[in-house]
Structure 1
Amino acid sequence: MKKLTITSIILVLLMISGMIQVREGCARDYIFIVGSSTVYPFATVVAENFGKKTGFKTPMIESTGSGGGHKLFGAGIGIDHPDITNASARITKSQLEKDFKNGVKEVVEVKIGYDGIVVANSRLTQVYRLNRKDLFLALAKQVPVPRAKGELRPNPYTSWKQINPSLPDTKIEVFGPPPTSGTRDAFVELVMEGGANTFPWIAKLKKTDKKKYKVICHTIREDGAYIEAGENDNLIVDKLSKAPEVLGIFGFSFLDQNTDKIQGSFIDGVKPTFEAIADGFYPVSRPLYFYVKKAHVDTIPGMREYLEEFTNENAWGDEGYLTSKGLIPMSVKERQHYRKVVEELIPLTLEDLN
């Protein structure tokens, strides 16, 4: 083997130094977004408008579910990690603490509006008139024993009529989101807890034994009545159009965009409509968010411009283009607040989540 001369060693070192500089100087030339399947359609429309109006590349958006998205988002800083994560449930204190431990020290929270969770079926059959008690009894893994206070049993119900005589005598079969979904989180909190609370002894557990209360309310049956359909809500819509007696759970925007195929069930006597959700009458509604990695804002090209597009009145306002996609706008006061948060990139603190 030939000995390396001092000159050749210097050349090698210079080459390595140059390679390192190039590698360090590289940055993505597009925004990378992950997260909620419910927020995905809204983010996609904003991204398309952003791409047309600016000279930046259209952001790459992946529908991973709120939980999966935040896991990717909070794993670290740098071009290998997402810049933004969409969420159909607010970040938890434990999630933010994990972000901090992973070096993601400044996370900016942006609420974008509201959405309803619907239980829908094919337009080829009758509209269901459900209440939250019906849904709890249909989908919980364990349900109260009739006339036996404090006792539970494995869910025995196989048809809707067994639960409520006014419902059709059809098999309980519901397509819904997986545990990683913010829609699933919101559904168990708003619907399953709401239905369980109609039993006074379960409602009391929320104060006396919160762990047991959560097990009862949040544990979905696993015997085939509830079918996890992944993070793609469009697939659930497609399944419903082909299976008239099956129900599906997803965000209102997917119902709003597919009224030719599917219809929303009444929940506690209220039909899921834009107006009912906006007015607060529909009982199953929740806020939607996205979270921004502040450290990436002035590193990834177009970040500020994308945030400007999303929080512009032409997008999320009362007459904005996102309303045509099913987003329920926030009040003017809320929009002004979050617009300021975006302009000043005010990070979220653990105290904000108390």
Structure 2
Amino acid sequence: MTQSMTDPSLKALALDNLDLQQLFDRMKILPSPLPSTWTQSRGYGLERLLHEAFRRTGLDVRAPFSTKGEQMDGAFVLDHRHFIYEAKWRSKDTTRADVVAFQAKINRRLVGTLGVFCSVNGFVDDITEYVARGNQLNTLLVDGENLEYGLAHGMDVMIRNKVVAAAQDGLIYYKEAQLEAVSALKVPPLQSQAPAAKSTVVVTEGPQDASVIELLAKRVSRLYSTPLDVSVIAAYGFAQAFDLGEAVMTRLALGKRLVVVVDGDELGAEELRASRTTALVRGDQVVVAEPTLEAWFGVDRKMRGNAQALLMSAVETVDISRLRLAHPEFDRLVRALLHEEVPSPVDAAV
């Protein structure tokens, strides 16, 4: 059994010949009782781990340094481009304020310098919306899953993947499974006919919504005796759902349809209209669940305990035909899955 580390700062260790993945795994384990300085020490250890991981990839890497009163956790050069990185390993998700403050540091560097913000425990929902809002994209977001991919396949490979996704699709933060799902949607060089089954890619705001759509698609297929080929990609928040949607849109083959499903509870009227306008391309659809996807099925998302189980049970038993009559947006979703003509939001409201 892997044990926790007495000193997670790694100061006493020569990292040259150590297995960094095993070291990272040990750093994840909290000791009991937890010393007051242990978590902070682990943050310093993460800096050393990243430095060694970049060094092993053959990158020109620089240890932590300060300039004009600003502390930098490290820097490296890859493909003739300069990167500055920051490392955080806290018990909670990294906040918008942390990332925006780091962006400000990057903005004070030479144009073309990129930032890499590594937060092992991830970021708050919709972080990409606030990072990109009114700014030129200059920061890549890396979480623990991305870091593990880098330790396994090479930090240079992970960073290059991040740069390509951000440059081509505007994706500054993604889970490895998301990137694999999007990358798998390659348009065949020659395709003379549409697929036999009605093929749809659905992007949702989160994993729970993705589970709902997967189950709903199976029920719709059985109810209408129509073969459906539905792939669901879970985003992490409203903003990333549209980022992923745009990435998917450029890769869809003939006959495939894109549907982006988001909740309407936090959307203002202007944002709602804008989201529909930007995504209604190629016949693709944005479906806005009013007020939430859970509310369609009579489940309160704030319920504690077995809310997810109740939601899945409701999806399994709901009267789909009656729900289509009660909720125009739900009807639009079903029509989109069946590849039927979907009325525009304006037409549906008339």
Shorter-chain TM range is under 0.3
Q: TM-score, normalised by structure 1?
A: 0.23
- Higher Rg of the two aligned structures: 1
Q: TM-score, normalised by structure 2?
A: 0.23
Taking CA–CA contacts closer than 8 Å with sequence separation of 6 or more, which of the two structures ends up with the larger relative contact order? Answer: 1
